[in-house]
Amino acid sequence: MTRHPEHEESRLYSLVYSSAAAAPFDDDQLAALLTQCRAENSRNGITGMLLYRGGRFVQFLEGPEQNVRGLLERIAADPRHTDLRVMIDSHPRVRQFAEWTMGYEPMSEPDGPAPAGFRDTFDDLEQADDDDRVLRATRELSLWFRVRAAT
């Protein structure tokens, strides 16, 4: 039996993190951040999506493990981010966001209470110890994002 070991630096790796913005981002700052991220991600084989609302980021990143881990280290050291928490890290077989160097969806604050069963924040998940619950919620969010992007 011939074994073909995967190299750690090129193995597909995925993570989801949340963080707080040290200061609120306006539309122009978000546009500049996305331009920078998309160019860097394209060079490094990283795909994903970014959500920002109410001073909070939730970002999905996927790509070669070494590149994604390096990017996470730079994000953690970036003074624009505080309270960074990795919610999920895994080695999926395929990418969820293969077509986006950094998909983005502007999210506005709700003007009333959320309908029953509707998730409008990750507040409860950021403190959760149940990895399955976090994974399920992030998969639902990624599906929501892809469906919206397709319409």
Global confidence as pTM: 0.71
For 137, the token pair is 């919620």
Note every long-range contact of 35-44, with CB atoms under 8 Å and residues 24 or more positions apart, other chains counting. Answer: 37/101, 37/102, 38/101, 38/102, 39/101, 40/71, 41/71, 41/101, 41/102, 42/101, 44/70, 44/71
What CATH architecture does domain 12-107+123-150 belong to?
2-Layer Sandwich (3.30)
Instruction: Answer yes or no: are the C-beta atoms of 62 and 97 closer than 8 Å.
Output: yes
Quote the CA–CA distance of 120 and 138 in Å, as a whole number.
Answer: 12
Q: What is the pLDDT along the chain (151 residues), one digit of tens a residue?
A: 333 444 555 799 999 898 999 999 888 888 888 888 889 999 999 998 888 878 888 888 999 999 999 999 999 999 999 999 898 888 989 888 887 777 665 555 556 665 555 555 555 555 556 666 666 666 666 655 555 555 5
